[in-house]
Each structure stands twice: as C-alpha cells, then as structure tokens.
Amino acid sequence: MLVFAKTPAANRSLTDQFTRHLVRKRYLLLTATPPPKDELLVRSRLVRRGERYASDARAREAREAVTSFVRRGEDPTGASVVEAEPRTGRTHQIRVHAAEQGFPVLGDTLYGGPAAERLYLHAALLELADPVTGATRRLAAEPEFTEPVRDRLREALIVPEETDAWRVAHGEAPLPGWSVDRWGDWLLADGPAAAGSARERQAVEDELERWCRRYGLRGALCRITRGGPRARAENGNTGRWSYGEPAPAAWTVRENGVRFEVRLGYPGGAAATVTADQQERAGRSDPSPTAPGGSGSVGLFLDQRDNRRRLLVNHVAAGFPAFPDSPVGAAVLNLFAYTCGFSVCAAKAGARTTSVDLSRRYLEWGQRNFVLNGLDPAAHEFLHGDVFEWLRRLARKGRRFAVALVDPPTFSTSKASGVFRVEADYERLVRAVLPLVEPAGRLFASTNAATLAPERFVAGLHRAVAAGGRRILAEHFVPQPPDFPSSSDAPAYLKTVWLRLD
C-alpha cells in the first residue's frame, strides 16, 4: 500500500502522523514454521550488518523497534498465517523480528526463510487521520498470496488491445534461469543446457501450459541453450513443442498498436540454420536465457519496447521530446536497423527514415514491417552494407538527421571495417555519427553489453561527444524495462541514453 499526498497541507499532516507513530499499519505474512506462541510482542534495537539488519541490545545509539505478532491460522497449503503490527517504523523490522523468533517469512531468503516465488509479506491495513476532516481513514487491501504475482505485475504494464508481445518470465521463479516471451498466440521459452532432466523439463512444460491457458494461447516452444551463441547456431536452434500447436513460419504481433512480423527461426525459414556471425549481426550476440537475445532472431527485441514507443509518441521525458520540432518530415537515421522496428515507429509518427544494416534479408524483413503498418517503403531509405562505410558516404553528401539511433550488436564483423566490439569501439562509432546529427538533434545510444558498466558507458558517450566538438544540452538515462527485472544476482544488462546535442 502506498499513500500519496496531493497537497502541501496533506503532506504536512501525513508527515506529522508518521513521525509521531499515529498511523496504524498491519501486515500479513506466511511462514513455513509456526510461531512459538499465538501472540508475541518483540522489542529490540536494530543495527545494520551489511545487507541485513539484526537486533543488538548493546547498540544504545540505535532506536528501538517494536512489533506485535498474532497467529491467524493456516492457509490451504499448510503455511501459518501471521498478522504483524509494527509499532515503530524501522527498516526490515518485521522480517528481522520474525526470523529471530524462529518463523522467518516464506520467501525471505535474506533472513533464512525458505525460497519461494515471492516474499510472502503483505501490507493489509493502513489507518490514518484524514488531513482535512481528521476522521479515521481505513485503507485495506486483501492479500492475493495464491496469485502468480509476477504475472500480475507484468500484466499491469500491458494494454492487451495494443500489445501481445512481451516478456513473461526473465530468469526468475517459477522458472529460474529461463526466459519466456509471448509472441502473439505462442510462447517461446529458452533455458540453460543444465535443465535437461525429465523432471525439470516436465516442470517447464507445466508452467508453459499454465501460461498458455492463462492468456488463451495456441502453443509454446521450449528450447535449450547449448553452450552459447556459436554452439547454439551449430546445433540449428533445435527445440521441441511442449504444448499446443506449432506456430507458422511467420505471423504478426502487436506492440503499442504497431504490427511486426516475427518468426521462430532465422530469415531463411522456421527451421533454417544460421552462422554465428549472422546471428551476432542480427542485433544481439548473447542468446542466454536472461539476455535480450534469448529468443534468437525472432524479429523484434522486446527490451526496446519503451524506446520504440518514445519515438511513436514523441516523448522521451518531461520537457524532452524525441524530435527537435515536429516528427512530421523529420529525418531519422537508424543504424544496425535489424528488422527496422525503430524506423517503423518513427515513420508512424511522420518521420522520414534511413535504415542501415549489414544484412539485406533483415532490411527486406523491415520493409515488410512498413507494409504491415500501412507505410510505403518507397518513401524511406534502406541502405545495405557496413555502417561505418555508410556513415562516411552520408557525411560526404552533407546529409543531416534530426534523430540518430545507435543500438549495435555487442560483436560483429564486416569486410569493410573488420571486427566491432562494443566495449572497445562504441566511442569511435559515436564520433562517426556526430557529424550527421543536425544542431539541436537527438542521439539515441544503447547497448546490451552486460560487461560494460553503466558508468563506463555514460562516461564514454561524454568523451565521444566532447571529442566530436559537440555539447550535451540534455540527457536522459533509460532503465531496463520492468518486465526484464534486474537484481544483485542478475544486474541490468541494457543501457540506454537519449542526448540532445547543441
């Protein structure tokens, strides 16, 4: 439960109530171990110990934490239901007190609780005085412990009438190590090679069937990642249908109302093999389960959905439109265009796009995406070949663009420019792009290189812009989309910066 103050007077009132402990808060938790008593009152002084908090009677400088617990029975699974009421507001106090009394919260592995799909601690009741009338306001939220919480959170991001392609699972429970994407009426799941036992495969198939039933889908494909992109390519990206009917060779999905063609294979067809270099040039080089390329060359990278929408609606952030002026007639350069997803969204907004990619087949795929959305490909440019070579040609011709989009693969090779690696060559790429960005133009810079820390990436962009004789007038860093959650065990890989240049 969250309370938002909409006026300064309400803010002062709420601050005073919380400070003086006048707000009543009640939580419900599940625990696999019953409390030692039906009612408990726990008092202690909490101190921080790394990522955890702990009680320490000697820490006289620490403020006291007080929590009351009442056992309320059992849920259908046999777990004990406990009501917790914090009399004070210390960080983690319910979790610490429950664990130290021998009944850690289910799913709270930080404090010794058994692993579970979620942390089973729920804010159930909040009572406070109305800031205007002074009357008691009672705000309640029933727990939904039996609901698949990750499904509900992701569904909150999606307007189903506009979008039917998104990440269903990203390496977390109930399928640790797996990525599962929805592509219209089908699911595509990628998992680690270690998940090879019959029991593990059955558990994956059961979850895929549950998701298919939940969303009314027609089928799901389960694939095993075999030792990285090169080994996987050599194995032909084999998979097996685990539920429902097979998908066709190609079909369309919707994203924010825009239609895209997708495939479960590579451009040559659903069962075609592909070389590692072709796969890397497709736009992502690491098809591991939690990387954005986990679904191979399906035709769209779902982690860039929000950035495509920024072009579509001409809004990067408050006071920062995606286009310097109107998108109508604006020139947009899309490098490493793949199947032209960014170009389609910019064109839908009214821009004239130039898409550059090393693969002629992907550009042809991109042109089909234009047609799917009622856009005439003949009104836009599709340039096949090495990106650096095309940047030199466009600069010689004096071409300028209102928006330049740079989202290269982490690794690629071409006869004209040789090997490109994001960690070593991104700044060189940005310097080559800068002369093509018109005054007050936008530079979109993105990478999925997991080994490149965000701080290094942003610092490199600043160096490249300065070396190119330009100044940054505005900057907006975009986090990884919420349906691709990050954690300390799996940090965010995607880094994106929108720049407004002088």
Query: Where does 314-453 have alpha helices with state H?
Result: 341-348, 360-372, 387-396, 422-433
Backbone φ and ψ for 77, nearest 5 degrees, come out as -85, -5
Task: Give the C-alpha separation, 303 to 286, whole Å.
Answer: 14
Give which of 477, 488, 424, 421 is closest to 446, Cα–Cα: 477
The neighbouring-strand residues paired with 219 are: 186, 244
Sheet holding 136-140, edge to edge: 52-55, 39-49, 64-74, 80-86, 24-31, 121-129, 136-140
Name, in order, each residue with C-beta under 8 angstroms of 379's C-beta and a sequence gap of 6 or more. 352
Pull the structure tokens for residue 79. 């777990």
- What's the rounded Cα separation, in Å, for the pair 431 and 433? 5
Q: Token pair for residue 38?
A: 């039906």
**Angle at the Cα of 133 from the Cα atoms of 127 and 137, rounded to 5 degrees:** 15
pLDDT digits (tens, 9 = 90+) for 142-156: 998 888 888 888 899
Which of 172, 206, 174, 422 lies closest to 290 in space, CA to CA?
Answer: 172
Determine contact, residues 93/43, Cβ cutoff 8 Å: no
Tokens standing for 214? 């939940």
Predicted confidence at residue 85, as pLDDT, reads: 97
Where the chain has pLDDT below 50, the residues are: 226-239, 266-295
Residue with tokens 């047609």: 371
pLDDT given for residue 413 in this prediction: 85
**Got the DSSP string for 154-217?**
HHTT--TTT--EEEEEES-TTSTT-EEEEETTEEEEEE-TT--SHHHHHHHHHHHHHHHHHHT-
Task: Decide if 473 contacts 437 (C-beta within 8 A).
Answer: no
What distance in Å separates the CA atoms of residue 184 and residue 248, rounded to the nearest whole number? 12
Between CA 448 and CA 450 the distance in angstroms is: 6
Give the integer Cα–Cα distance in Å for 467 and 428.
10
Greatest Cα pair distance in the chain:
81
Look at residue 373 and give its three-state secondary structure: coil
Residue 241: per-residue pLDDT: 61
User: Helices 360-372 and 341-348 meet at what angle, rounded to 10?
Assistant: 30
The pLDDT score that the predictor gives to residue 279 is: 37
- The reported pTM is 0.81
User: In the beta sheet, which residues pair with residue 443?
Assistant: 404, 499
Give the length of the chain. Answer: 502
Distance of alpha carbon 347 from alpha carbon 350, whole angstroms = 5
Query: Which residues are bridge partners to 223 per DSSP?
Result: 190, 239
C-alpha to C-alpha distance for 240 and 298, rounded to whole angstroms: 16
Q: What is the pLDDT of residue 194?
A: 59
Pick from 115, 226, 121: nearest CA to 173:
115
CA distance 115 to 166: 26
Structural domains present in the chain: 8-140 (3.30.2350.10), 149-264 (3.30.750.80), 302-501 (3.40.50.150)
196 HSE (CA, 13 A, CB side): 5
The pLDDT value given to residue 193: 62
Residues pairing with 136 in the sheet? 129
